[in-house]
Structure 1
């Protein structure tokens, strides 16, 4: 994380923040966050991220203290982002990296970090998923449809190549994204009840409706039925669409082509949405 942040639109230094201003978020995880790609100073899919953030705040209005509505608008966040980039010479107006919004304790915190050192390599090579965690996801769990700062369940598996499955043996998601599977003549992604996060890139692809001439559909994907899977893509708002060349010990030869098709769709939607 860089030293320059914004709190409710006010540009601050990270060391100036006070723990007492974020007590519910820090001690109880009573807050939500959004992570998004910033390219050449422009946040990607910002309106979509803010809509998801506001939806989570409304759904948990009784326990999470939302920031003022006026700071949760796209124009307000863009203005805060611009002023942060201008204030920090290590960022600069042409910054490309990662932005993060955290909402809770009546505050909206905006911060920045560089892309991971392995970002470009991961774009080329993809991500291998060879571990399965099937003890902590339960079908229909609504908490996993929100990107809460109570993130230990996922954080503990970041970088370990872990896919999560529910008690019915259905694949759900990974620690940092959604999954799409090439199965027979369709591209399949688990339904939200699996459960999984309603990811931003997931929504873009579902709206597109087709990928490589195949329909994109929501339906359960059983661990026991993975022999029918020929390709897999991991989607999130920073990597966008990453090939999964190996899934739980099975080589998937069509993953890279599928990921390239998905990235092209995502970039086209981003261009249209500005």
Structure 2
């Protein structure tokens, strides 16, 4: 159903409680999200107009706000997202919804201030699902001791530069080690490895994001009877794994076909996980 107030090709956004056209979006030039990258965001998969795992996303955002000393948001995001998808004719198929929040304007000496903090939602088609992915090891490391560790923070330049470096070398993603030399995460995803029939993913103390799909996959693995563990993973263990896959909210689990020059097969454990995840995000699934 088309929103009668928009014409074909016109993108509708939601910002600070009101519906606007794309060209009407504005942000205070003194907003510390704009000036310093002090903000948070969530990327949410929607299938046939239904935002998947929304409760988990909002819980993570709420916990991140608490870490930064910000007040929680009081909007009814589920109904807003459903209307956003409808207004942009994205109620059929897969869509990517982005929820963003800035620090607002204020002194850099008082980060909890920011009465004009801005929040907005956008939506677009999710694009093609990836069949497999080639990754390299980033020359830069993730600082697990950073105050931003574990936050889905708006200051994403480090990730983008590392991703560009990998793509210039012929890869589609890159993996970060942390300052202790342990595997942390990919630039835009969490990482899993199958070693001796067991499923491993870096523990949160590695500095990785507490990914929504990461948590779902751990839960699915245990339901399937797979021995799944959060652990320290060194690079040698990763490159000797029989299977490796990445997880993100929109793509879900995606198998790694190559790490550097080493090629990997797409194994049976991955297919079990992927099948279970697909069942959870099907249009009629009520799993949240």
Task: Give the counterpart of 1:108 among 119, 137, 150.
Answer: 119
1:70 aligns with 2:78: no
For residues 172 and 127 of structure 1, the distance between their equivalents in structure 2, rounded to whole angstroms, comes to: 18
Quote the residue 1:267 is aligned against: 278
What is the CA-CA distance between 1:115 and the residue it aligns to?
Answer: 2.2
CA contact (8 A) 1:241 1:260 kept: no
Is 25-34 or 206-215 further displaced after alignment?
206-215
Secondary structure at 2:193's aligned position in 1?
strand
CA contact (8 A) 1:171 1:220 kept: yes
Task: Give the counterpart of 1:94 among 92, 95, 106.
Answer: 92
For residues 269 and 99 of structure 1, the distance between their equivalents in structure 2, rounded to whole angstroms, comes to: 18
Quote the residue 1:187 is aligned against: 199
Q: TM-score, normalised by structure 2?
A: 0.81
Distance 1:258 1:6, change over 3 A: same
Secondary structure at 2:194's aligned position in 1?
strand
| Bigger-Rg structure (1/2) | 2
Secondary structure at 2:142's aligned position in 1?
coil
Query: What are the ranges of 5 or more consecutive residues in structure 1 without an aligned counterpart?
Result: none
CA contact (8 A) 1:2 1:112 kept: no
What is the CA-CA distance between 1:227 and the residue it aligns to?
Answer: 4.8
RMSD of aligned alpha carbons: 2.4
1:153-206, CA deviations, whole angstroms, 9 ceiling, x for partnerless residues?
112233632111123321111011000000113100001111100000111122
Distance 1:216 1:55, change over 3 A: same
CA contact (8 A) 2:48 2:90 kept: no
Equivalences, count: 257
What is the CA-CA distance between 1:52 and the residue it aligns to?
Answer: 0.5
Task: Give the counterpart of 2:234 among 222, 230, 239.
Answer: 222
**Structure with the higher helix share, 1 or 2:** 1
1:13 aligns with 2:21: yes
CA contact (8 A) 2:193 2:238 kept: no
1:128 aligns with 2:134: yes
CA contact (8 A) 1:136 1:166 kept: yes
Distance 1:178 1:192, change over 3 A: same
Secondary structure at 1:244's aligned position in 2?
strand
Secondary structure at 1:245's aligned position in 2?
strand
Is 14-23 or 41-50 further displaced after alignment?
14-23
Distance 1:95 1:110, change over 3 A: farther
What is the CA-CA distance between 1:272 and the residue it aligns to?
Answer: 4.1
Task: Give the counterpart of 2:184 among 141, 160, 172.
Answer: 172
CA contact (8 A) 2:12 2:22 kept: yes
